[in-house]
Structure 1
Amino acid sequence: MSFRQKTAKYFSNHAETSENHIDPTLQTHYYKTTRDKGLSLLENHFNNNESYHINAISKGHGEISATIIKGKKAFVVATVIMVRPYQTAIDFSVTTESVLPFDLGYSTKIIQQLYQQVNKELPIINNTNRR
């Protein structure tokens, strides 16, 4: 990552994952599971964590939206897409609510924590094994 990209990461109030993201921690993660199991896992995680409040669940679209209500406020959207049988992609988008137009990397940290939690529960598929 260039200096400009590192600076932009800290001086923004939004972070999201993508297939070919410059930051390796914000690249889409693939898991050996079904879409329903992935959605269920995220739903349980948000329900069992008092910091989160689920706003909506769209099983048809494979999305869950939640709000972080303890500490710094943020809005989280998790998208679960089944690419192939037992190959499911999970992406996150986090926007921090603050008076300032930046969050000093807080939204990126939330995504990293969510991926760590999912990695404990589901078998991850490495990029080299995906193709």
Structure 2
Amino acid sequence: MSGIKTLLKRFQSECETSDKQEEEVLQTHYYKSMQNGTFNAVLELFSSSQYDILSESKDRGEITIRKNGTPQLFIVATVIGVRPLETAVDFKLSTDKGKILGTYSVLKAQIKNYYDVLDGKLTRVR
């Protein structure tokens, strides 16, 4: 049964991070930083011309982005202050365009890339 579940997962058109994810790549990252600093670092991730920031709300800690080009994505980045010097960052990516071999691995690779960039800029807690 797990083989079928893995095969079906490959064709999902969305991928999300959380504390309860089984895959380590998709677990929430916590940074030793104030929420504003982390929020600005996440905004910098999407400052290139291939991204359009659709909305941003520092109060809710949410940024919505559209990635143009290949793959075309809709991204929601959430930045939540957990403690005075600890901030959590989560991503949810989705796409309308499917691929023959599935899109889940592409979405997961994008999330890993975003976290790798943030890990280089901010100090990770856990």
* TM, length-normalised to structure 2: 0.89
- Would you say 1:30 and 2:56 are equivalent positions? no
Unaligned runs of 5+ in 2: none
What per-residue deviation string (whole Å, max 9, x for no partner) do you get for residues 47-98 of structure 1?
1x22211110011100111011021110000000010111100000000121
Unaligned runs of 5+ in 1: 127-131
- Partner secondary structure for residue 9 of structure 2: helix
Report the counterpart of residue 115 of structure 1 in structure 2: 115
Q: CA separation in 2, counterparts of 1:70 and 1:8? A: 26
**Which aligned pairs between 1:55-94 and structure 2 lie closer than 5 A?**
55-94=54-93
Q: Give the drift of 1:4.
A: 4.4
Q: Report if the CA contact (8 A) 2:45-2:114 is conserved.
A: no
Q: Give the drift of 1:99.
A: 5.0
Q: CA separation in 2, counterparts of 1:83 and 1:104? A: 29
* TM, length-normalised to structure 1: 0.86
Moved over 4 A (4+): 99-102
- Give the count of matched residue pairs: 124
- Partner secondary structure for residue 7 of structure 1: helix
Report the counterpart of residue 106 of structure 2 in structure 1: 106
Amino acid paired to 1:60: D
- Partner secondary structure for residue 81 of structure 1: strand
Amino acid paired to 2:16: E
Q: Report if the CA contact (8 A) 1:33-1:87 is conserved.
A: yes
- Partner secondary structure for residue 71 of structure 1: coil
TM-align CA RMSD = 1.8
- Partner secondary structure for residue 75 of structure 2: strand
Amino acid paired to 1:117: V
